[in-house]
């Protein structure tokens, strides 16, 4: 087998010249990074937080939307990227489903602003109809992910929350390579063994990329009957906490299975502002946000 060597800068730049999105090997943004990885996106953000799950249906987008809204309510300039390109739900959950993106100077995209310090970008804003499918292979997704980072007028952000699709595929790998200042990842699971098994894969994926696991969130953890007030463990309880302990990562907290959470998402009003602060579920969410911020900034 012939021995291969890395090309020098001149040769590499020459080979890349035909690609309009390529950057020469001497780009300072590449300093300290492996030579075959793309440069980090040019975006002003202090902390990027990835929200992942090993499988779908565990409430990852619910956690992302409420987490972003909570941070904005605390005064942080917050961005939220919905990277579930094939099934974007964040606009529905925030009541901005009918919004469309505007651009100026032929390139810069204005995100949809939910409040004065919370801005959102999603594939849903680009679809002609709400039921239009996105039928894309990996390279198309990689291109739009860089555009969502670099070509959007985010301003100066304290936090950028990234809601990822289930699993550890193109979207998760691309954002991990492109996003600067990644503070870490939040792993969302439900208590049952099947969900916990898949969440362990997400934890190991994050570790392999040298990204900090900020913690595990156990969603749909127990259900309090509104009639008899008895707690029923529909999906079990404690699976996420046990997994966090076994993997040696923080456990950020558990969120009960609450019908009000579903209503909030359907009505497009984040649960964190829809419910009273006396709600046990609200308190759970608030504690999780505080624990995550402590992990990032503590």
Annotated binding residue 60: yes
Structure tokens at 236: 């079990």
Annotated binding residue 57: yes
Annotated binding residue 184: no
Q: Rg (Cα) of the chain, in Å, rounded?
A: 20
Annotated binding residue 95: no
Backbone CA torsion sign across 104, 106, 107, 109 = positive
* Terminal Cα-to-Cα distance of the chain (whole angstroms): 51
3-state SS of the chain?
CCCCCCCCHHHHHHHHCCCCCCCCCCCHHHCCCCCCCCCCCCCCEEEEEEEECCCCCCCHHHHHHHHHHHHHHCCCCEEEEECCCCCCCHHHHHCCCCCCCEEECCCEEECEEEECCEEEEEHHHHCCCCCCCCCCCHHHHHHHHHHHHHCECCCCEEEEEEECCCCCCHHHHHHHHHCCCEEEEEEEECCCHHHHHHHHHHHHHHHHCCCCEEEEEECCCCEECCCCCCEECECECCHHHHHHHHHCCCEEEECCCCHHHHHHHHHCCCHHHHCCCCCHHHHHHHHHHHHHHHHHHC
Annotated binding residue 55: yes
Annotated binding residue 215: no
The HSE-up count of residue 191 (CA atoms within 13 Å, CB side) is 18
Give binding residues as ranges: 54-61
Give binding residues for ATP as ranges: 54-61
């Amino acid at each position: 087998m012939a021995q291969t060597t890395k090309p020098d800068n001149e040769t590499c730049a020459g080979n890349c010249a035909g690609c309009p999105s390529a950057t020469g090997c001497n780009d300072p943004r590449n300093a300290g990074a492996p030579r075959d990885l793309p440069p980090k996106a040019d975006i002003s953000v202090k902390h990027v937080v990835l929200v992942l799950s090993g499988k779908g249906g565990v409430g990852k987008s619910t956690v992302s939307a409420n987490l972003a809204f909570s941070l904005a309510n605390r005064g942080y300039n917050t961005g939220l990227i919905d990277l579930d390109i094939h099934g974007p739900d964040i606009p529905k959950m925030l009541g901005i489903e009918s919004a469309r993106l505007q651009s100026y100077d032929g390139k810069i995209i204005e995100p949809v602003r939910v409040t004065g310090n919370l801005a959102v970008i999603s594939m849903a804003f680009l679809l002609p109809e709400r039921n239009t499918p996105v039928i894309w292979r990996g390279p198309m997704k990689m291109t739009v992910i860089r555009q969502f980072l670099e070509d959007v007028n985010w301003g100066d952000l304290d936090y950028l929350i990234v809601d990822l699709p289930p699993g550890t595929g193109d979207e998760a790998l691309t954002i991990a390579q492109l996003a600067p200042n990644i503070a870490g990842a939040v792993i969302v699971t439900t208590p049952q063994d099947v969900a916990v098994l898949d969440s362990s894969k997400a934890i190991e994926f994050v570790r392999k990329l040298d990204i900090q696991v900020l913690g595990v969130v156990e969603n749909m953890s127990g259900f309090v009957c509104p009639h008899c007030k008895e707690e029923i463990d529909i999906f079990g309880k404690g699976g996420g906490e046990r997994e966090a302990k076994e993997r040696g990562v923080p456990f950020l907290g558990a969120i009960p299975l609450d019908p009000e959470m579903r209503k909030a998402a359907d009505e497009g009003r984040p649960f964190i502002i829809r419910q009273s602060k006396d709600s046990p579920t609200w308190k759970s969410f608030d504690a999780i946000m505080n624990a995550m911020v402590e992990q990032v900034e503590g």
